[in-house]
A and B are shown apart, each in its own frame.
Chain A
Amino acid sequence: MRLVIDERRCKGCNLCTMVCPYRIFRPGTKPNARGIVVPELDRPERCANCRLQALYGRTLCGMCQMICPDQAISWVEEKPGEARKVAIEF
């Protein structure tokens, strides 16, 4: 699974940067085509839900998705065979 921010819905309130336990979201720096500063993703492969949602069969943390007032955060299925980066934390 892959974490995506829907740029058409996000209004740039940065609440996701506050709640993520992995600090995956960072406040953005430059405005997009709609003039909204969308948060950036910092190594999103660390997200527990991305890695383990399929294994456990349920949403694991999902705080960012629940607190997002604009329903902009979701997880999408990756295509099989797509190259993916794996992060290991010690």
Chain B
Amino acid sequence: MTYSDWLRADRLPHIYCAGCGNGTVINCTLSAVDRMGWKKEETVFVSGIGCSSRAPGYIMTDSLHTTHGRALAFATGIKMANPDLHVIVFTGDGDLAAIGGNHFIHACRRNIDLTVVCMNNQIYGMTGGQGSPTTPYGALSTTTPYGSQEPAFDLCELASAAGANFVSRWTSFHVKELTRSIHEGLKIPGFSFIEALVQCPTNYGRRNRFRQVMDQVEYFKTHGILVQKAHRLRDEGLPIPADAILLGDLIRRDRPAMGVRR
């Protein structure tokens, strides 16, 4: 079996723009789920509202497309009602960090046995490119035409501070590593949070000097540094570049998890 057995072939091609990284993250997630050997009847994909949340519509399992920001609340309900189900949540940065921020930190605090894949495109892509809580400082969007003057949310720091069991960050360029990390997250009981930075050529890249799809993927490739390397640089007293994206498995711990059948 490969990931293509999990896709609804009659729904493809999907509605994402040319070069949108969300499709890549779907491939990686489905490969990881496929590697777990789960049955389609026992797997549920939950999503909120946004570009990223269109993803479960293209997957041949039970899925739930819920209200804006409340994907984690609905997923908590599914997991509590039937702990035998494997629940995976697709969410975007606006969905998770802006409107669903409280659901996110409380899901981390409760440490529910969910796997959350956050496709962070650093902007509200579907509604026309408004600035989101993860838009980097100085980036242009339709609501920040002179550059964003607010510091961005670091979702991985937030998840690890709130108590998630497994936190990892990769980009849509690092497909093999992202697949491995999602696989790890699916195996670990408790809340696993995987942030995948994706390119948004239509609304983010076009305004921020990434004219081609490849330019932003190249940026992820050149500016991403492994967390081990960042720790080594810090120990040696060397400066970490300000625009570096920390990649890798940031947190792995064994807090008691909720929603696991004992």
Chain B CB within 8 A of A32 CB: no
Q: Which residue of A lies closest to B16 (CB)?
A: A69
Would you list 12 pairs from A and B whose C-beta atoms are within 8 A, ordered by A residue?
A11-B17, A13-B201, A15-B19, A15-B24, A67-B24, A68-B24, A69-B21, A69-B23, A69-B24, A70-B12, A70-B13, A71-B23
Chain A CB within 8 A of B176 CB: yes
| Chain A residues in 8 Å Cβ range of B176 | 63, 66
Query: Are B213 and A15 neighbours in the complex by a CB distance under 8 Å?
Result: yes
When each residue 22-61 of chain A gets 1 if its CB lies under 8 Å from chain B and 0 otherwise, what string results?
Answer: 0000000000000010000000000000000000000100
B222 to chain A minimum Cβ distance, whole angstroms, is 12
Chain B CB within 8 A of A8 CB: yes
| Chain A residues in 8 Å Cβ range of B21 | 69
Q: Which residues of chain A have a CB within 8 Å of any CB of chain B?
A: 8-9, 11-15, 17-19, 36, 59, 63, 65-72, 74
**A to B contact number (C-beta, < 8 Å):** 67
Chain A CB within 8 A of B22 CB: yes
Partner of A66, one of B14, B17, B28, B201: B28
Query: Are B19 and A69 neighbours in the complex by a CB distance under 8 Å?
Result: yes
When each residue 1-39 of chain B gets 1 if its CB lies under 8 Å from chain A and 0 otherwise, what string results?
Answer: 010100100001110111111111011100100000000
Q: Which residues of chain B have a CB within 8 Å of any CB of chain A?
A: 2, 4, 7, 12-14, 16-24, 26-28, 31, 172-173, 175-176, 179, 201, 212-214, 217-218
Partner of B27, one of A12, A19, A71: A71
Q: Which residue of B lies closest to A66 (CB)?
A: B175
| Chain B residues in 8 Å Cβ range of A9 | 12-13
Q: In the complex the two chains form, what is the Cα distance from A19 to B218 in whole Å?
A: 10
Q: In the complex the two chains form, what is the Cα distance from A13 to B198 in whole Å?
A: 14
| Chain A residues in 8 Å Cβ range of B218 | 18
Which 10 A-B pairs have CB atoms at the shortest separation, nearest pair first? Answer: A69-B23, A13-B19, A11-B18, A66-B175, A9-B13, A13-B213, A13-B18, A69-B24, A18-B214, A66-B27
CB within 8 Å for A70 and B179 given contacts A11-B18, A15-B217, A18-B214: no
Query: Are A67 and B214 neighbours in the complex by a CB distance under 8 Å?
Result: no
| Chain A residues in 8 Å Cβ range of B31 | 66
